[in-house]
Amino acid sequence: NICLKNDKNMANEAYRLVISKNGIEIIASNNAGWFYGVQSLFQLIPATDKTTGIMGSIQVPGVTISDEPRFAWRAFMLDEGRYYKGMAQVKLLLDEMARLKMNVFHWHLVDNEGWRIEIKKYPLLTEIGSKRKSSQIGPLKWESPMQSGEPHEGFYTQKEIKEIIKYAEERHITIVPEIEMPGHSTAAIAAYPWLGTEKKRKDVPTRFGVSDDVYDVSDPRCLQFFTDVLDEIVDLFPSKVIHIGGDEVKYNDWKKSASIQAYMKDNNLATPADLQIFFTNYISHYLQSKGRRMMGWNEILGHNLHEYQSEIDTKTNQQLAKGSIIHFWKGDADLAVQAAGRGYEIVNSHHTKTYLDYSYDDLTLSRAYAFDPIPEGLAPKYHEKVIGMGCQMWGEWIPTVGNMHFMVFPRIAAFAEVGWTMKENKDLGRFKINLKKLEKFWEQKGIYYAPESFVEKNENK
Ligand code: TNX
């Protein structure tokens, strides 16, 4: 018999699993803790026989496990802006996250190449913005001249979104939606050309890579658009945190726009980075007024990260709104150290260590496992500013479900430990042994993970 017990003094998500001759006890202070206790119990049960599915009577070892997470934010991100994967795959990923005790599903729903969430007030976002004629494909990736020659489309209705949110809630996973602004905006501009600075009709792109398109944040209709969209987002998603992207904005179109230039003058903004932060603060305050918190990629602090940006354009004396969460993905650890020192909370998703679109020789399994979300050089008194980590499945080069599974599994298991396990308890050898059992579960669910032989070959390259 299994008995759930309450101990108010235990930390959020912590549990104690006690298996003895007298039965099984799971002690926790809340549902999340009991849930994770059950996940651990499942891990102690031998995988079912694949051919019959019958377990018969099973034996579990007598143990006591006291466990709690190192970080409160343990995220997996799926980019469906590039390729829509659909509800069944999202649910499968949520199941696997729960098994691995990950608790944030960061859902990248909007990008240049697709708008994937129904917004009732702006139906063309999905009618036009969720469809493209063809997609760049091929082994050359960003430089590839090759096209699929086949259309791609897909989006989630609000009804489907609600179903997925409920599914995630049952697994103690918060869904953090990401609605990109002011860059990564071509699909939206294709739907409503007045959203862009050029006010020109354009197609949803068939190639990937950073776009020149940027929203016209000097246009009151455009600001109205954002607050309308965010109203619907906030109504749908219970998450306290809403992600607004903010990465990879090319400033050329802002520099060319007379309306933007006049707006900058009126508001005393000297550089494009000043404008981006000014705009981001407007959004942040709007979200705050609705009881939510804004999160964005680290460019929202004005970081100069890209070869297409100049030192002058990214100079800023604007202060990013307090309470914004910095999603650190690029740049020196020093930038993260500064952000924490200025009081911002950070989620560490540094691209060299957490990007699941990177090949297995660039980001080997052991490298993924070794990732420490606390940036080097961060004084201990600021460690608590790092609320956690994320790993990101960017979508450009995973047109199929199989492509995606191969990149996600097994590295997601390494990242789950990065988020959960205390540094001193990590052990790559032990992790790899346990992986074999996880792979049995994955096989049963039809997950096409990268096999050990392939993963190991890349370790040793
Ligand atoms: C950079 S990470 C991006 C994404 C791409 C990714 C590909 C980030 C905030 N922006 O738009 O998909 O690189 O690795």
The string of pLDDT tens digits covering residues 260-312 is 999 999 999 999 999 999 999 999 999 999 999 999 999 999 999 999 999 99
Position 224: which residue type? Q
Residue 414: closest CA among 361, 458, 372, 357: 372
**Pairing mode of beta strands 131-132, 104-108:** unpaired
The residues, any chain, with a CB within 8 Å of residue 106's CB and separated by 6 or more, are 75, 76, 77, 78, 176, 178, 243, 390, 392
Q: Ligand 1 center to residue 164 CA distance, Å?
A: 24
Both tokens assigned to 133? 């004629």
Cβ neighbors of 75 (< 8 A, separation 6 or more) are 102, 103, 104, 105, 106, 176, 347, 349, 388, 389, 390, 391, 419
Q: Under a CB-based contact definition with an 8 Å cutoff, are residues 364 and 410 in contact?
A: no
Task: Locate the ligand 1 atom nearest the alpha carbon of residue 357 and give its number.
Answer: 14
Q: How many Å lie between the centroid of ligand 1 and the Cα of residue 174? A: 22
In testing the pocket of ligand 1, which one of 248, 327, 335, 353 has its CB within 8 Å of the most ligand atoms?
A: 248
Write out pLDDT tens, residues 111-120.
999 999 999 9
Provide the sign of the torsion angle of the four alpha carbons 341, 346, 348, 350, taken in this order: negative
Res 86: pLDDT: 98
Give 221 Cα–ligand 1 centroid separation in angstroms: 28
| Mutation to probe ligand 1, out of 309, 351, 397 (largest number of atoms < 8 A from CB) | 351
Q: Which residue ranges in the chain fall short of pLDDT 70?
A: 47-56
Q: Which helix (H) or strand (E) holds 295?
A: strand 293-297
Which run of H or of E encompasses 94?
Answer: helix 87-99
CA 60 to each of CA 47, 134, 206: distance values in angstroms, whole numbers, following the listed order? 12, 52, 53
Q: What is the pLDDT of residue 47?
A: 62
Nearest to 444 by CA among 53, 87, 57, 90: 53
Residue 79 alpha carbon, nearest atom of ligand 1: 12
Please report the pLDDT score of residue 53 as a whole number.
55
Give the pLDDT score at 57.
75
**Nearest CA residue ID for atom 9, ligand 1:** 247
Who contacts 342 (Cβ-Cβ below 8 Å, separation ≥6)?
none
**Sign of the torsion formed by the C-alpha atoms of 313, 316, 322 and 328:** positive
Extract the tokens encoding 412.
């997601």
Residue nearest to atom 8 of ligand 1 (CA): 247
76 pairs with which residues across the strands? 105, 391
- With a CB cutoff of 8 Å and minimum separation 6, the contacts of 453 are none
**Ligand 1 geometric centre to CA of 77 (Å):** 11
Residue 308 contacts residue 248 (beta carbons within 8 Å): no
Which of 380-405 are b and which e, b meaning 16 or more Cβ less than 10 Å from the residue's Cβ?
A: eebeebbbbbbbbbbbbbbbebeebb
Cα separation, 100 vs 411, whole angstroms: 12
Give yes or no for a contact between 40 and 15, defined as CB atoms under 8 angstroms apart: yes
394 Cα–ligand 1 center, Å: 7
| 87-99 vs 411-420: helix crossing angle, rounded to 10 | 50
C-alpha triplet 211, 215, 221: angle, nearest 5°: 160
Task: Say whether pTM exceeds 0.85.
Answer: yes
Nearest CA to ligand 1 atom 13: 394
CA distance 198 to 215: 9
327 Cα nearest atom in ligand 1 = 9
3-state secondary structure of 160: helix
- Choose among 73, 71, 137: nearest CA to 104: 73
Can you give the pLDDT at residue 156? 99
Per-residue confidence (pLDDT) for residue 56, from 0 to 100 = 67
Q: What is the structure's pLDDT at 58?
A: 78
In the prediction, which pLDDT does 1 show?
82
- Residue 77 is inside which H or E element, if any? strand 73-79
Report residues whose beta carbon is within 6 angstroms of any ligand 1 atom: 247-248, 297, 329, 355, 357, 394, 396
